Amino acid sequence: MEDPKKIVKEKYGDIARNFRPVTLSSCGCSTGCCSESGYTLFSEEYSTLQGYVPEADLGLGCGIPTLFAGIKKGDTVVDLGSGAGNDCFIARSQTGENGKVIGVDMTPEMVERAKNNARKYGFPNVDFLLGEIENIPLPENFADVVISNCVLNLVPDKYTAFREIFRILKTGGYITASDIVLSGELPESLRRNAEMYAGCISGAIEEELYFYLLNKAGFENIAVLKKVQVNLPDELLQEVLTNEELEQYRLSGAGIFSITFRAEKPR
């Protein structure tokens, strides 16, 4: 498989350029997450939430971290992998005019779209930066809360990403994120597939390893707040696996899960 970051940049750049309004049959994470039958495997309904901006909802999440983040008035919030700004604008409604929300994304087209959305709706305390999660362009001890939605699993070096998140958080700050994790091993051909990588599958790691790396990076009080199993339809898997591999995968007991978790930087 070619460079994962290049795959993700190209895929999400294409999504940003070819935006269409999210509907109930839209695909979560990207086209790599869906079958032609229109399965919605990950994305959740945002439209009833305060601060919702339809132009920012590209259907790319696997949860709603802002529902669990406990953002307070005046908080400084950083959204990693902010896309067109969907979670940032929800967070802005929670942190208020005296707070600040910064979105970071490595795809130029997404940053441009998010900035345009912020200007259109007159949100002076929301900004968007071009940058990578393994090298976040923000100072240490900056954020009260970090959020992220179906993005950290796409980062090849997760430990470095977690260390960077730890660095930019204030003492006593925390991350609340939604992401994809595994229970058991995915078939190798599924892991190597570029479409599945951009679609939030083959970049995922086992849940136990995920939380081990968070703890190794310095986080404590790591807690799963929501966990939902994701069952990929056979017609999607058949695009990647042989019939024999598909049967072995189904018998292996391996599972794909959407989780929302919280992890704290010690005081």
Could you tell me the two tokens for 263?
A: 């992890």
pLDDT of 130 above 60 = yes
Could you tell me the two tokens for 139?
A: 């100072």
Q: Give CA–CA dist 263/204, Å, rounded.
A: 18
Confidence bin at 229 (pLDDT 50/70/90): confident
> Span 27-36, mean pLDDT?
39
Percent of the chain with pLDDT over 70: 84
How many structural domains comprise the chain? 1
3-12, 42-51, 77-86, 140-149: which range is least confident on average? 3-12
Q: What is the pLDDT of residue 62?
A: 87
Q: Give CA–CA dist 18/263, Å, rounded.
A: 35
Q: What is the pLDDT of residue 119?
A: 96
For 177-210, write each residue's pLDDT tens digit: 999 998 887 777 776 664 554 455 657 889 999 9
Instruction: Give the residue, 116 or 62, on which the prediction is more confident.
Output: 116
For 76-95, write each residue's pLDDT tens digit: 999 999 999 999 999 999 99
Q: Give CA–CA dist 55/262, Å, rounded.
A: 28
Q: What's the CATH number where 60 sits?
A: 3.40.50.150
Q: What is the pLDDT of residue 19?
A: 66
Model's pTM, two decimal places? 0.86
pLDDT of 30 above 60 = no
Tell me the pLDDT of the chain averaged across its residues.
Answer: 85
Q: What residues make up the domain containing 259?
A: 4-264
- The count of other CB atoms within 10 Å of the CB of residue 265 is 23
**136, 80 in Cβ contact below 8 A?**
yes
